[in-house]
Structure 1
Amino acid sequence: MGTPAHQPPPEPVATLLLIRHGLTELTGSTLAGRRPGLHLDDRGRGQADALARRLAAVPLTALVASPLERCQETAQALAGAAEGREITTDHRFSECDYGDWTGRTLADLAAEPLWRVVQTHPSAAVFPGGEGLAAMAQRAVAAVRDWNDRLTGAHPAPVYAVVSHGDVIKAVVADALGLHLDQFQRIQADPCSLTAIRYTRTRPFVVRLNDTGGAVADLVPSPADASGDAAVGGGAGGAAARP
């Protein structure tokens, strides 16, 4: 019997599950920013529990969260759905520091001259007394790359979750799509939505975007997902390729 051919090690592939925190009493009306003491309301807790049940069967390599309470509470629901999930806090996934805009209503802010810059040229938007959207995007994308390197160094195909904020998630998605930050307002991240990005050696793939329901079995990568090759013609889809 001949000697079996040497099998090359599998290509590393990291699957990032980006989760926006659940609803709070201010969501949609007020720019909460980094305001402390803001917790999930009953709706938000219900959303977090429902998402935790959906993801209970997904073997998470790591569970990471922004330090703000609404993200920590959403992550706690995920951690409680299965044993062995510990939450790691990473400040790089914190909300943008909106400075003097923090705590003001969106209706009020829409009258500010800076509002149009935020809408049409966000890469140039710097909030008075706070940070710029470009700086926020830079730290968030750097954090994702750091976690990808860290986790693939110990596991060939990690699946990890990051609980963060709408603008942070939109910035990470824009980077994965190769979009300039000025296009990130075209992306939507609803409360407690799930966005999945698979990072291969060749390129990232946006697997899901702003998902608020449905099956999750295809979030665990197959060997073919690590190749980095795109499916010419669109392919049959991740769910169709699995039993």
Structure 2
Amino acid sequence: MTVTFLLVRHAAHDDVGRYLAGRRPGVRLGVEGRAQAARLGARMRRERFGRILASPRERTQETARAVAEAAGIDTVETAAALDEIDFGRWSGHDFETLDEDPDWRRWNEDRGHAATPAGETMEHVRFRIVSVMERLQAEGAAGAVVLVSHADVIKAAVCDVLGLPLDRIDRFDIAPASITTVVAGAWGAKLIGLNEVVA
């Protein structure tokens, strides 16, 4: 069964790029993020998909609901495997503070081997999202499926498809409210579109 995966990064919260939100509760879309989500929903009307799965974080759920409403889909399924990286004690800190932490610097310099304070590695993140995609394919998901997640989680999936080492995730961007398209079949998987940003 061939499945098209539309990997969507959540729209922006008010402080995106200023601090590490991680799995902190209560991080919701800001004014610009809600506008991004509305534009994303309008763009996604052109796609034919029957299911939407989203990370448990509020910002991904809000983005997924905007897409679902635009597409006339009643249910957004929550998938823990699409969750943000578990950054542990780093969550909630601004990047200036984090840059002083040698463990944070190592995480960013050696994503293929380093772990967060919570013990999560990029390999585990890759395993999580790829497992969801493989399960949906095995279930015979028809047509296209939307997966709403986070930048580095989507980057891990792209690295897997392209056969890139995980420490190469800084070679490409995944912007807020962007769409990355992967087609998977019995023959494997290929990247069709990367980081489509809806204007």
Shorter-chain TM range is over 0.9
Name which of 125, 138, 149 aligns with 2:138.
Answer: 149
> How far apart in 2 are the matches of 1:205 and 1:136?
19
What letter matches 1:151 in structure 2? G
What letter matches 1:19 in structure 2? V
8 Å Cα contact 1:97/1:131 also seen in 2: yes
**Deviation sequence 1:96-128 (CA, Å, 0-9, x none):** 000010000112112221233222310212111
Partner of 1:237: none
Partner of 1:184: 169
**CA distance 1:85–1:173, change in 2 (3 Å):** farther
**Deviation sequence 1:134-154 (CA, Å, 0-9, x none):** 2122112111111222234xx
Identity in percent: 35
> How far apart in 2 are the matches of 1:144 and 1:163?
12
> How far apart in 1 are the matches of 2:195 and 2:78?
23
What letter matches 2:15 in structure 1? L
8 Å Cα contact 2:39/2:198 also seen in 1: no
Partner of 1:164: 149
The size of the alignment, in residue pairs, is 199
Q: TM-score, normalised by structure 2?
A: 0.94
Partner of 1:35: 24
> How far apart in 2 are the matches of 1:41 and 1:114?
30
Deviates more, 1:52-61 or 1:30-39: 52-61
Partner of 2:121: 132
The answer to whether residue 52 in structure 2 is matched with residue 63 in structure 1 is yes
Partner of 1:95: 84
Q: TM-score, normalised by structure 1?
A: 0.78
8 Å Cα contact 1:63/1:160 also seen in 2: yes
4+ residue runs over 3 A deviation = none
Max Rg structure: 1
